[in-house]
């Protein structure tokens, strides 16, 4: 598939998506959101792809937010529609994807950029990364899930402070708050993410998909995470991946999971 705003580098068992609008610090306009949706969907449907890494092009930014130029003259109705459509197409879509998604935060992750990183399953940052939700400085609030996912990740008090001050935190602070799992020099960011992707790729993609669903269920209103876990646990016993995983263990060999 041909994209205008993103690059997709498909390796053997994982893929790297790069948001490629460096002159706009990779700000998310509607076209980029649609392209990201299409790329994630295609990779998720590809049985060979067992993990996805998302990053930004250039050395300065992961994503500096939603494209402010695009929504500056929006009405109340258009504003609501923008958030609803974006959440559905990209942010909720990534969070609930069956294939693990790692955010490689290589610089500024602001507003929609931090919201995208938070929708990923976990985050790794380069030591120059800066994160924040500056929306209230523009007279608006985070609209791509930031008011919900930030408190889930760092706790309500820290989230309130970050949202109210509109300030940025550095990679060290982000790691201390649990927002990122690792900090590395920029040149080591993708190699580390690929190492993590390779490790993930050795495991059962079907079991991982069930684990993502069960973990996410605990953070959703009106869903019982424990009940979802029990159901998903049972379902695993009927899968070819389970047969292969247990057989390989008993035969003292490495499992070769048939997958999705």
Active site residues: 115, 135
- 25 lies in the site for ligand COA, by CB under 6 A: yes
Q: Which of 163, 74, 82, 78 is nearest to 118 (CA)?
A: 163
For 93-112, letters b (16+ CB in 10 Å) and e give: bbbebebbbbbbbbbbbbbb
83 touches ligand COA by CB under 6 A: no
By CB under 6 A, residue 108 contacts ligand COA: yes
> Of these, 135, 159, 189, 209, which contacts ligand COA (CB under 6 A)?
135
Among 15, 33, 53, 64, binds ligand COA (CB under 6 A): 64
Per-residue b/e over 150-173, b at no fewer than 16 CB within 10 Å? bbebbeeebbeebbeeeebbebeb
**Separation in Å, CA 50 to CA 13, 112, 238:** 6, 26, 20
Q: Is 66 in the site for ligand COA (CB under 6 A)?
A: yes
Rounded to a whole number of angstroms, the minimum distance from the CB of residue 140 to ligand COA is 7
The single residue among 17, 19, 27, 119 that binds ligand COA, judged by CB under 6 A, is: 27
- Report the C-alpha gap between 208 and 69 in whole angstroms: 39
Q: Considering only the stretches 130-138, 185-193, 195-203, 227-235, report the one whose residues sit in contact with ligand COA under the rule CB under 6 A.
A: 130-138
Distance CA 51, CA 196 (A): 9
Per CB under 6 A, does 164 bind ligand COA?
no
Check binding of 116 to ligand COA (CB under 6 A): no
Name the residues that contact ligand COA, by CB under 6 A: 24-25, 27, 64-69, 108, 110-112, 134-135, 138
């Amino acid at each position: 598939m041909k994209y205008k705003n993103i690059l997709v580098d498909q390796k053997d068992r994982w893929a790297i998506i790069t948001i490629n609008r460096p002159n706009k610090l990779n700000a998310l306009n509607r076209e980029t959101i649609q392209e990201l949706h299409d790329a994630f969907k295609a990779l998720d449907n590809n049985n060979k792809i067992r993990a996805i890494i998302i990053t930004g092009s250039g050395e300065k930014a992961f994503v500096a937010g939603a494209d402010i130029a695009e929504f500056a003259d929006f009405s109340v109705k258009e504003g609501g529609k923008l958030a609803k459509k974006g959440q559905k197409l990209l942010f909720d879509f990534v969070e609930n994807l069956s294939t693990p998604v790692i955010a490689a935060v290589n610089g500024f992750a602001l507003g929609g950029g931090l919201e995208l990183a938070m929708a990923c399953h976990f985050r790794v940052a380069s030591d120059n990364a800066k994160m924040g939700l500056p929306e209230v400085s523009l007279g608006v609030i985070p609209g791509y899930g930031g008011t919900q996912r930030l408190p889930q990740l760092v706790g309500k008090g820290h989230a309130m402070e970050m949202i109210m001050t509109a300030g940025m935190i550095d990679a060290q602070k982000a790691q201390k708050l649990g927002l990122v799992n690792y900090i590395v020099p920029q040149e080591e960011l993708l190699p580390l993410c690929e190492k993590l992707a390779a490790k993930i790729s050795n495991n059962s993609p079907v079991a991982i998909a069930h684990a993502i669903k069960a973990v996410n269920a605990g953070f959703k209103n009106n869903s019982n995470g424990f009940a979802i876990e029990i159901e998903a646990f049972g379902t695993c016993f009927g899968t070819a991946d389970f047969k292969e995983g247990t057989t390989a263990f008993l035969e003292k060999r490495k499992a070769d999971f048939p997958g999705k």
